[in-house]
Amino acid sequence: MLDFVQQLVSGVALGCVYGLIALGFVLVYKATEVVNFAQGDLMMLGGFFAFTFIGMMGLNYWVGFAGAVAAMALFGMVAERVVVRPILGYPQFSIIMATIGLGYFLRSIAGMIWGTDDLKIETPFSQGVLRVGSLVLAHDKLSVIAATVILCTLLWLFFNKTTLGTAMRASSENMLAAYYMGIPVKRVVSIVWAISAAVATCAGVLLAPITFIHSNVGLALGLKAFPAAVLGGFGSIPGAVVGGVLIGVIESMAGFYLAEGWKDVAPYIVLLAVLLLKPEGLFGLHVRKKV
């Protein structure tokens, strides 16, 4: 039972990271119908920024964290402007190739700048544990879960209670109508990329005590986050997070209870099963949106 709870917490924590990356996929997809395959690499880059600010420059953890988020938000806007906007309107695969290319580019640049060693950030959550009876839960895992809950709450409030957030939903539902309303759609898309890069950075920094930062970490996690987004019904924000948590928990349980090898396969088996029964994903919408 103790093992089970501990595996569950690890799984949920890892799943939260998948969920946050998946959230980035979904935000960008909903706004522009672009699948950004560099989403995981944005997370990786955010981790390196945080490492630079905290590990190399010696800034306070929270200051460095905020700095990395701000820098990556800006980077997300620039990436959209330079890589994606010029080819919007061309066939999907051109855009997909462009984001895959952006991912390659970011991994190579990161390797050149920060080297290929595994790096580590000292965080306030790196060491401590929470004991509940004989149950021992590491602070690093709990911090990921808590941060994900806070982040999702903030995003929910932003998208549902602010005019700008509502305008973002409006633009993603019907871009032409958004133009008719006088919503500056291009600026809205920029902000969506900024948010999705910022959320990815949060995932990267939160992950730092659990996994090392390495130029390939984003690729590996992106490949897990993508099925998470599909599982949740690509296009649903709560679905992305739930999908991420499910994949994290399944992976963690399979790794502990099943024979070697099942850990990486199990999430995909569940994904295939769900897609066969409910092709639109768990939270998918039946109504196709207009562009």
Partner 1 sequence: MDAAVTPDIILKLSNIESYYGPIMAIRGISLEVPRGRIVTLLGANGAGKTTVLKTISGILDPQKGAIEFMGRPIQRMEADRIVRLGLSHVPEGREVFPFLSVRENLMMGAYPRRDRDGVAEDIERVYGYFPRLKERINQPAGQLSGGEQQMLAIGRALMNRPTLLLLDEPSLGLSPILVKEIFTIIRRVNEEQGMSILLVEQNAKVALETAHYGYVLEIGRIVMNDSCDRLMHSQDIQEFYLGAKEAGARGERRWKKKKTWR
- Which residues inside 147-176 make contact with partner 1, applying CB under 8 A? 163, 166-167, 169-170, 173-174, 176
| DSSP alpha helix (H) spans, 181-286 | 185-207, 217-231, 237-257, 262-277
- Which residues inside 81-140 make contact with partner 1, applying CB under 8 A? none
| Phi/psi-derived region of residue 281, left when phi > 0, alpha when psi is between -120 and 50, beta in every other case | left
End-to-end CA distance of the chain: 50
Q: What number of other Cβ atoms are within 10 A of residue 180's Cβ?
A: 8
Least Cβ distance, residue 254 to partner 1 (angstroms): 36
Per CB under 8 A, the list member of 1, 259, 276, 287 interacting with partner 1 is 287
List the beta bridge partners of residue 138: 129
Give the residue with the Cβ less far from partner 1, 177 or 272.
177
Residue 74 sits in the site that holds partner 1 (CB under 8 A): no
Write the CB contacts of 230 (distance below 8 Å, at least 6 apart in sequence). Answer: 243, 271, 275, 281
Least Cβ distance, residue 182 to partner 1 (angstroms): 3
Task: Write out the H or E segment, with its range, that includes residue 91.
Answer: none
Write the CB contacts of 162 (distance below 8 Å, at least 6 apart in sequence). Answer: none
Measured distance CA(13)–CA(20) in Å, rounded: 11
Least Cβ distance, residue 33 to partner 1 (angstroms): 16
Least Cβ distance, residue 184 to partner 1 (angstroms): 5
Residue 28 sits in the site that holds partner 1 (CB under 8 A): no
Radius of gyration of the chain (CA): 19
Q: Let me know: does 141 contact 210? Beta carbons within 8 Å.
A: yes
Give the residue with the Cβ less far from partner 1, 131 or 161.
161
Give the residue with the Cβ less far from partner 1, 123 or 172.
172
- Applying CB under 8 A, the site for partner 1 has a residue count of 21
Least Cβ distance, residue 88 to partner 1 (angstroms): 16
Measured distance CA(215)–CA(118) in Å, rounded: 9
Nearest C-alpha neighbor of 145 from the set 22, 59, 239, 241: 241
Tokens of 260: 């070697």
Measured distance CA(237)–CA(113) in Å, rounded: 34
Least Cβ distance, residue 290 to partner 1 (angstroms): 7
Measured distance CA(175)–CA(228) in Å, rounded: 26
Per CB under 8 A, the list member of 178, 192, 202, 240 interacting with partner 1 is 178
Give the residue with the Cβ less far from partner 1, 164 or 269.
164
Give the residue with the Cβ less far from partner 1, 153 or 162.
162
Interacting span for partner 1 (CB under 8 A) from 33-41, 55-63, 179-187, 203-211: 179-187
Binding pattern for the stretch 180-199 against partner 1, x by CB under 8 A and - elsewhere: xxxxxx--------------
Residue 280 sits in the site that holds partner 1 (CB under 8 A): no
Least Cβ distance, residue 191 to partner 1 (angstroms): 14
Residue 7 sits in the site that holds partner 1 (CB under 8 A): no
Residue 6 sits in the site that holds partner 1 (CB under 8 A): no
Q: Let me know: does 220 contact 5? Beta carbons within 8 Å.
A: no
| Residues at the site binding partner 1, with contacts judged by CB under 8 A | 163, 166-167, 169-170, 173-174, 176-185, 285, 287, 289-290
